[in-house]
A and B are shown apart, each in its own frame.
Chain A
Amino acid sequence: MTAELKVSELSVTYGDVAAVRIDELSLDAGEFGVLLGPSGAGKTSSLKAIAGLLPGAAGAVHLGGRDISRTAPEERDIAMCFESYALYPHLTVRKNLEFPLRAPRRVRELTAQERRRRVDEVADVLGLGQLLERRPAQLSGGQRQRVSLGRALVRRPTLLLLDEPISHLDAKLRNGMRAELKRMQRDMGVTTLFATPDQGEAFALGDRVFVLDAGELRQVGEPTELYLRPSNVRVAELLGAPRINLVDGEVRGQRVTVLGLERPAEGLRDGPVLVGLRPADLTVGGHRELEAAVVAVQPLGNAAIVTVKVSGQTLRVLTQGAFDEWQVGDAVGLGVRSGSLLLFDPVTTMCVKAGI
């Protein structure tokens, strides 16, 4: 039922514009992959191409070792949840959920009673039991999202493609759905590719994260690995909230100088360097290595983002605990956790050294 996915040399072009160019993307059977990228990165195009919905797409898609590149979308046994939910507006929830089971290639496998039971099962798992006779227009966003998910799961697909399915839900619902999604995916063991612009979802859900930017894969790996050792500036920027600070530094004689701070940097050539500092690796207050001035304080409840100025550079700092301690204009000490610096080549933007 579940199978490994291997996509190679995938390209999608719209007119003269190349929207997606992915050399390789593969998922093991039952793995939860997250396609992370900002809006416009080509996530939806990639998913649609894998589902076979884009006639302009080229490349090979293997599912369970079988080449399905030339298979019609209705024969691919791939289920997809669309960003807009794409429910059938004129059908009730029950009919929506049942529709995939009535497809020509499946209609003979199941009797009417079996279809009914499958729909009831899925509705039960997703808490849709009370809503089966309603139409999509009578549902809330969260309920629609569940129906869309249920419609994808009801036929036990080989591959599940999810296009930002929970991005439009409110924060509380989103957290609940994340957990539910992860649990269901693990229970069913279905290979899943989940597209999202939200790095938090990538951390929470992904066994493996594919960072997509401007149509190309920048890096692939476990979320923590991508966070600690991003291969380039874009990946560093996309993972981690608040966004990483990038400041100019200088390498001279195996040492890097940044904001008046000095750290060893063996093996690096002399010259300018871009230094990445995670807001969570910075601390303010007390007597620290650097002198800074508070420019802005953005409270988050249990934490705060304090923006400070150090030798002409603006930095975001994520502080824990009390945030009313800091006032705009305060002079504070700024600490940098050791082993947290990321160094990037300013020209190629590739990471040249991590964790110093």
Chain B
Amino acid sequence: MTDKGPRSAGGAWYQHLLLAPPLVFFAAFAVFPLLFTLYVSLSVWSISGDHRFIGFGNYAELLTSPDFQTTFFNTVAFAVATVLVEYVCGMTAALMLYRSRAGQGALRLAFLLPMMFTPVVVGFIWRTMFDPSYGPVDALLRWVGLPSVPWLSERPWAFAAVVIADVWQWTPFMFLIIYAAMRALPTAPLEAAVVDGASSRQVFWDHMMPMLLPASLTAILLRTIESFKLFDVVYLLTGGGPGVGTATITLSAYFTGLRNGDLGSAAAMTFLLLVVVLVVTTVLLKVAARIGRTKPRRRVVELPQTSPSEGVPA
């Protein structure tokens, strides 16, 4: 190549220098903390500052610890449960609003309200709601004649309580993305489907859902990444209890590192979480890319097969 375009890697040294400021920031605020955390996770590192490199000791200890296994399982289970329920609820709400004729503005605002609370407030709201002595949820159960439920102190209920609180707060996020995508859908194909005789169920499943798939995946991806980092609501609602029954990785990293002063183990926990999130994100992005590719792909003209070895004379 004689002519180097503006995008080629060559060019004067000062052109590269112009990239330095963002790279310095990236190194200082992303690369360094990441590598430092990795180093900490490979050490015995007390909060007092004493530290000693020990290799994979922290990881080995964590992976064999039943408490950490529970925590790990909790984190994944919370992520799956909350994202699933939030998606279904968000889609339902979006569809209801999309099909309603009046009151869209007010309802839209009402739907978004929970998202505007800080998680601490949400934690307190639901802690009050689920309180065994004065909580409205138990009062409601008693009123319809059902037995009282130990919401925050026994395992399946505590788990459900956390899911409910998270769903309450984050369904609006799913709703917002899906509703926006719904409003942006071309109306003509949907009208055509109606004229073609489709039932409203068919219009939704056969046409709206496939057309909403990219937006759905985006919403699911964003919520999945966030929900793996679930902390505030659990911290306030159950404190991770009973035992470690509702503890998440972030929560136990906090307790291990900042309460018990074992920074090495805490760093190892967060690093494991990072690996999980990376894997899940990669898988979801692959799925999204495959779906996106159903759009026109250049047709390869099929020629009679000649293997490469045949093409090259010996």
| CB neighbours of B199 from chain A (8 A) | 74, 103-104
Among B60-68, B132-140, B190-198, B231-239, the stretch that binds chain A is B190-198
Whether B295 lies near A88 (C-beta < 8 A) is no
Within the complex, the shortest CB–CB distance from B17 to chain A, in Å, comes to 44
Whether A90 lies near B210 (C-beta < 8 A) is yes
- Give the CA-CA distance A87 to B188 in the complex, in Å: 8
Whether A89 lies near B211 (C-beta < 8 A) is yes
Whether A103 lies near B189 (C-beta < 8 A) is no
| CB neighbours of A100 from chain B (8 A) | 196-197
Within the complex, the shortest CB–CB distance from B202 to chain A, in Å, comes to 7
Q: Is A304 an interface residue (CB 8 A)?
A: no
Whether A74 lies near B296 (C-beta < 8 A) is no
Whether A103 lies near B198 (C-beta < 8 A) is yes
Per-position binary interface string of chain A over residues 39-69, scored 1 when its CB falls under 8 Å from any chain B CB and 0 otherwise: 0000000001001010100000000000000
Q: Is A99 an interface residue (CB 8 A)?
A: yes
Known: A88-B207, A90-B294, A135-B296. A74 touches B189 (CB 8 A): no
Among A4-12, A75-83, A192-200, the stretch that binds chain B is A75-83
Whether B193 lies near A84 (C-beta < 8 A) is no
Per-position binary interface string of chain A over residues 340-355, scored 1 when its CB falls under 8 Å from any chain B CB and 0 otherwise: 0000000000000000
| CB neighbours of A105 from chain B (8 A) | 197
Whether B188 lies near A73 (C-beta < 8 A) is no
| CB neighbours of A82 from chain B (8 A) | 188, 191-192
Q: Is B186 an interface residue (CB 8 A)?
A: yes
Within the complex, the shortest CB–CB distance from B2 to chain A, in Å, comes to 38
Q: Which of A73, A84, A138 contacts B194 (CB 8 A)?
A: A73
A-B contact count (CB 8 A): 73
Q: Which of A53, A88, A90 contacts B195 (CB 8 A)?
A: A53
Bin chain B's interface residue count. Answer: 20 to 34
Within the complex, the shortest CB–CB distance from B195 to chain A, in Å, comes to 5
| Closest residue on chain A to residue B213 by CB atoms | A90
Bin chain A's interface residue count. Answer: 20 to 34
| Closest residue on chain B to residue A73 by CB atoms | B194
| CB neighbours of A151 from chain B (8 A) | 192, 196
Q: Is B183 an interface residue (CB 8 A)?
A: no
Q: Is A137 an interface residue (CB 8 A)?
A: yes
Known: A84-B188, A90-B211. A99 touches B193 (CB 8 A): yes
Known: A74-B199, A103-B197, A104-B202. A84 touches B186 (CB 8 A): yes
Q: Is A86 an interface residue (CB 8 A)?
A: yes
Whether B195 lies near A135 (C-beta < 8 A) is no
Question: Can you list 30 A-B contacts with CB-CB less than 8 angstroms, sorted by A residue number?
Answer: A48-B191, A51-B195, A53-B194, A53-B195, A55-B101, A74-B195, A74-B196, A74-B198, A74-B199, A75-B197, A76-B195, A80-B195, A82-B191, A85-B188, A86-B186, A86-B188, A86-B189, A86-B192, A88-B206, A89-B189, A99-B193, A100-B197, A102-B202, A103-B196, A103-B199, A104-B202, A135-B294, A137-B296, A151-B192, A155-B197
Residues of B within 8 A of A (CB): 101, 186, 188-189, 191-199, 202, 206-207, 210-211, 294-296
Residues of A within 8 A of B (CB): 48, 51, 53, 55, 73-76, 78-80, 82, 84-90, 99-100, 102-106, 135, 137-138, 151, 155
- A-B complex: 6 closest residue pairs judged by Cβ atoms: A103-B197, A86-B188, A86-B192, A100-B196, A90-B210, A74-B197
